[in-house]
Amino acid sequence: MRQAERMSRIGVETAFDVLLQARKLEAQGRDIVHLEIGEPDFPTPHHIIEAAQKALDDGWTHYGPTQGFPDVRESIAGYVSRTRAISVGPENVCVVPGGKPIIFFSILALVDHGDEVIYPNPGFPIYESMIRFAGGVPVPMPLIEKRGFSLDLDLLRSKINERTRLVILNSPENPTGGVIPAEDVRAIANLVRGRDLMVLSDEIYSRMWYEEAPVSVASFPEMKEQTIILDGFSKTYAMTGWRMGYGVMPEWLAESVNKLMVNSNSCTASFSQRAAIAALDGPQEEAERMIAEFRRRRDDFCAGLNSIPGFRCALPGGAFYAFPNIEGTGLGSREMAHRLLHEAGVACLSGTAFGEYGDGYVRFSYAASLENLMEAVRRIGEFVGRLPSPLARQEMPVG
């Protein structure tokens, strides 16, 4: 049966495919260390679960308002105002099922055929997928390892023109763990301020940082009117399965997002929304413990990776991903990821799953126990040790 042409332009997320392959190998009796999927390996804090259980008992099991319950939006607006040093109200908040729908809806609402969208590359694959799906022109913004995976501001300046409709930022970033320095964010704000374009600032990892706190572009003068902040509960509170996220945006855009919501989801699950209040306004210790644990794992895991010949891993400033450069091993990214899974029993993603500028890298999620991370380092080290040296590989006859 013929499908709509637009379906030829939509992409997928490789992490879910690799997870499936890894599960198949496990079903055949193989032991796999899972470092492919981007979700915290911690339970949702118990007081949040209790709030959801109570909400179910109290009958929060029906439709709610499309934009989200007013008190939930109030709580989110308070949190965003506090953490970004801006003043936003419940009218600016759209509650949606997870962070992803904000990418989907913002792009559908803003991007027409031929409009250009600048997005980070390597970056979350859904950006490019959705830009293409909407008929937009993806304009990749390469991230630079030497700049802590921030971007080249002169290059960004050269890419902005009258067709640019949207600039996507993501800090801390998936897959690199990079945090855009405050000075760069200020410079980006200066570049885009007053132009007829919006910024989608994906801040889903905003609480997961280890040295320099990420700064929202919305915090700079006049930028609130030009920014969509994406944030949510999946990562910070280990709530990936609850499907709770939100966007904070000017009211004119919130109206459009509401229309897209009513045409797709009607509303976000009512009991998940009640639990979200407990997450934001309740104790934060468990979330903070989880982040402290990620920092410990980051330090040990990256040190382990850097001890492997041919691996060079910059210390990520945030999120829970390590993005080592593996060019020194002589293997390409896809081959490395494939062989690590099949020959070493370590599931990870090729850097190219995040765009062409991810070539030469692989992504590991360190949302796994320290024991598993160290076992992964051991297995990768052994695997790399069995490879012919890059020089020997070059000299090997082809075929």
CB of 371 to ligand PLP, least distance (A): 24
The window from 1-9, 93-101, 180-188, 280-288 that contacts ligand PLP (CB under 6 A) reads 93-101
Binds ligand PLP by CB under 6 A, chosen from 125, 232, 316, 324: 232
Nearest in space to 111 (alpha carbons), one of 142, 86, 80, 138: 138
The window from 69-77, 95-103, 351-359, 364-372 that contacts ligand PLP (CB under 6 A) reads 95-103
CB of 305 to ligand PLP, least distance (A): 20
Angle between helices 270-281 and 70-84 (to 10 degrees): 40
Strand 245-248 and strand 227-232: the pairing is antiparallel
Whose Cβ is closer to ligand PLP: residue 90's or residue 97's? 97
Whose Cβ is closer to ligand PLP: residue 100's or residue 379's? 100
CA dist 268 and 98 (Å) reads 9
Nearest residue to ligand PLP by CB is 98
**According to the binding rule CB under 6 A, does residue 176 interact with ligand PLP?**
no
Whose Cβ is closer to ligand PLP: residue 38's or residue 330's? 38
CB of 306 to ligand PLP, least distance (A): 24
What's the distance, CA 63 to chain centroid? Answer: 29
Span 279-308, contacts to ligand PLP by CB under 6 A: none
φ, ψ at 232 (rounded to 5°)? 180, -165
**According to the binding rule CB under 6 A, does residue 44 interact with ligand PLP?**
no
CA dist 80 and 88 (Å) reads 7
CA dist 198 and 168 (Å) reads 9
x/- track of binding to ligand PLP for residues 186-215 (CB under 6 A): ----------------x-x-----------
**Contact assessment for residue 192 and residue 227, using Cβ atoms and an 8 Å cutoff:** no
**According to the binding rule CB under 6 A, does residue 41 interact with ligand PLP?**
no
Binds ligand PLP by CB under 6 A, chosen from 100, 132, 297, 298: 100
Whose Cβ is closer to ligand PLP: residue 189's or residue 229's? 229
The window from 22-30, 159-167, 232-240, 283-291 that contacts ligand PLP (CB under 6 A) reads 232-240
Span 116-135, contacts to ligand PLP by CB under 6 A: 124
- What are the C-alpha distances in Å from 312 to residues 95, 360, 361? 40, 11, 9
Residue type, 391: L
**According to the binding rule CB under 6 A, does residue 92 interact with ligand PLP?**
no
CA dist 389 and 67 (Å) reads 57
The window from 78-86, 96-104, 143-151, 340-348 that contacts ligand PLP (CB under 6 A) reads 96-104
Whose Cβ is closer to ligand PLP: residue 276's or residue 380's? 276
Whose Cβ is closer to ligand PLP: residue 272's or residue 329's? 272
CA dist 378 and 248 (Å) reads 44
Q: CB-side exposure of 274: number of CA atoms within 13 Å?
A: 19
Binds ligand PLP by CB under 6 A, chosen from 245, 330, 351, 355: 245
CB of 58 to ligand PLP, least distance (A): 25
CA dist 188 and 38 (Å) reads 28
- What are the C-alpha distances in Å from 285 to residues 74, 276, 291, 389, 392? 22, 16, 10, 47, 52
Binds ligand PLP by CB under 6 A, chosen from 68, 99, 120, 140: 99
Whose Cβ is closer to ligand PLP: residue 204's or residue 223's? 204
Residue labelled with tokens 């991370």: 373
CB of 38 to ligand PLP, least distance (A): 4
CA dist 322 and 304 (Å) reads 11
Residues 171, 82, 259, 236: what is their CA dihedral angle, to the nearest 10 degrees?
Answer: 50
Which residues contact ligand PLP (rule: CB under 6 A)?
38, 98-100, 124, 170, 174, 202, 204, 232, 234, 240, 245
